[in-house]
Each structure stands twice: as C-alpha cells, then as structure tokens.
C-alpha cells in the first residue's frame, strides 16, 4: 500500500491535513474575494502585513468585533468615546486617525474612497490596488501606529500625539528597511568573497560551513 500524497509513499499527518483542507472539505464559504496578493507584496515588517490581513479578513479585534464574538466589553471607542468602535471607525473616522492622515498629508488619497465605500476591508483593497506601493507601505505602517496608540491608551492610559504616531511609524519602517538592506548587502559580500557562494540569492542568509 502506498500513500499518494507524499513522494516517498508514506503517510504523514501534514499531507493528510492538506488533503482534508484542500480537497475533502468544502471551504468555499471561507474564501473571500479580494486583492490578497497586494497585502503580501508590501515590503513592510511582517506584523504590519498581518494587521492589514486582519483588517481585510474582518477579524481585527476592535470592541465591536469582540462583542460579536461574545466578549463582554464596552463598544465605545477607546480614544474618542464614539459608541461604535469598529475597524472603519478606528482607521478612517476617529478624530485621532483623521488628524493623523491630515498630518501625514495623505487624507486626500484615503477620503476619495470613503464616499463610495463604508467598510474597512473594501477600502483597504481599493487602496492596495490604486496607490503606488511605497505610498501604501507608509500608510499601512501608520495604521499599525494608530492601532498601537489605541492599545497604549487602553492598557497603559498613555495618550500619544499625532506627531508621535507618525514618528513611531516612520521609525519602524525605516529601521526595518535598513536592517533588510544590511542583510542583503552582507550576503552580496559573502558571495563576492566565496566563489562557491555566488549562487546565493539576494537577501538569503549564507549557510554556515566549517572554517
């Protein structure tokens, strides 16, 4: 007897799981149409990609979302006491967010979609499709910072200014970009020193070998 889902013919839980998820169980109801590849193409720290994915997947843990999952918490916005703290409110309606977008000089880019769309996932997909990636990378990192300030207010009673929100986003994105540039330069240097390492891709970490 052989197990066709593995090359070596032996059963593995991993391949069994994959067959269940992809072939046996009908998971069409879980699929949501949208420009998902746009999220993973953004060159931002992974926690920012993850945040955008959560917003688009409609599982961003705002108070309204938590209440819909049976968690007993207030529904008011942590920052401005608006009665309905959902992702649309936090990102595009709350005064903190609007002030931040104005200060970042991108409100005109975002607000063009707000008159046509009323939910955060659709707005995000439109932004991802229509804005250049460097602009979008900055915007989503600022979103992360807006969410961060909301959590700081909730858990540590700290109120950050718009300037601090933007500075935090800038610091995160620039730090991450610098670290990634350094890493790819290091592997280029290694490739030029070691002739047999020239096959290394840019950004790949060279394998350790015995000195």
Site residues for Zn ion per CB under 5 A? 77, 79-80, 82, 94
Indicate the residue among 37 and 156 with the shorter CB distance to Zn ion. Answer: 156
Indicate the residue among 77 and 104 with the shorter CB distance to Zn ion. Answer: 77
Indicate the residue among 94 and 139 with the shorter CB distance to Zn ion. Answer: 94
Indicate the residue among 147 and 176 with the shorter CB distance to Zn ion. Answer: 147
Give the C-alpha distances (Å, rounded to integers) separating 7 from 12, 16, 20, 22. Answer: 11, 13, 18, 18
8 Å CB contact between 129 and 178: no
Shortest gap between Cβ of 3 and Zn ion (angstroms)? 54
DSSP string across 116-144: T--SHHHHHHHHHHHS-HHHHHHHHHHHH
Tokens of 32: 């949501």
Shortest gap between Cβ of 158 and Zn ion (angstroms)? 16
8 Å CB contact between 97 and 90: yes
How far is Cα of residue 39 from the mean position of the Cα atoms in its chain? 7
Shortest gap between Cβ of 119 and Zn ion (angstroms)? 17
Shortest gap between Cβ of 96 and Zn ion (angstroms)? 7
């Amino acid at each position: 007897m052989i197990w066709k889902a593995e090359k070596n013919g032996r059963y593995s839980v991993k391949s069994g799981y994959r067959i269940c998820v992809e072939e046996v169980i009908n998971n069409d109801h879980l699929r949501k149409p949208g420009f998902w590849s746009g999220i993973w193409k953004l060159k931002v720290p992974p926690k920012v990609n993850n945040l955008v994915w959560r917003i688009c997947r409609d599982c961003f843990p705002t108070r309204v979302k938590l209440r819909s999952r049976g968690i007993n918490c207030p529904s008011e916005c942590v920052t401005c006491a608006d009665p309905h703290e959902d992702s649309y409110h936090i990102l595009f309606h709350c005064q903190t967010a609007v002030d931040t977008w104005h200060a970042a000089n991108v409100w005109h880019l975002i607000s063009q979609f707000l008159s046509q769309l009323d939910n955060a996932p659709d707005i995000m997909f439109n932004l991802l499709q229509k804005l250049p990636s460097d602009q979008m990378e900055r915007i989503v990192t600022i979103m992360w910072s807006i969410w961060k300030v909301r959590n700081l207010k909730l858990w540590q009673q700290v109120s950050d200014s718009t300037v601090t929100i933007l500075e935090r986003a800038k610091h995160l994105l620039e730090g991450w970009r610098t670290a990634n540039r350094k890493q790819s330069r290091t592997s280029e240097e290694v490739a030029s020193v070691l002739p047999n390492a020239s096959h290394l891709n840019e950004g790949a970490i060279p394998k350790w070998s015995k000195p």
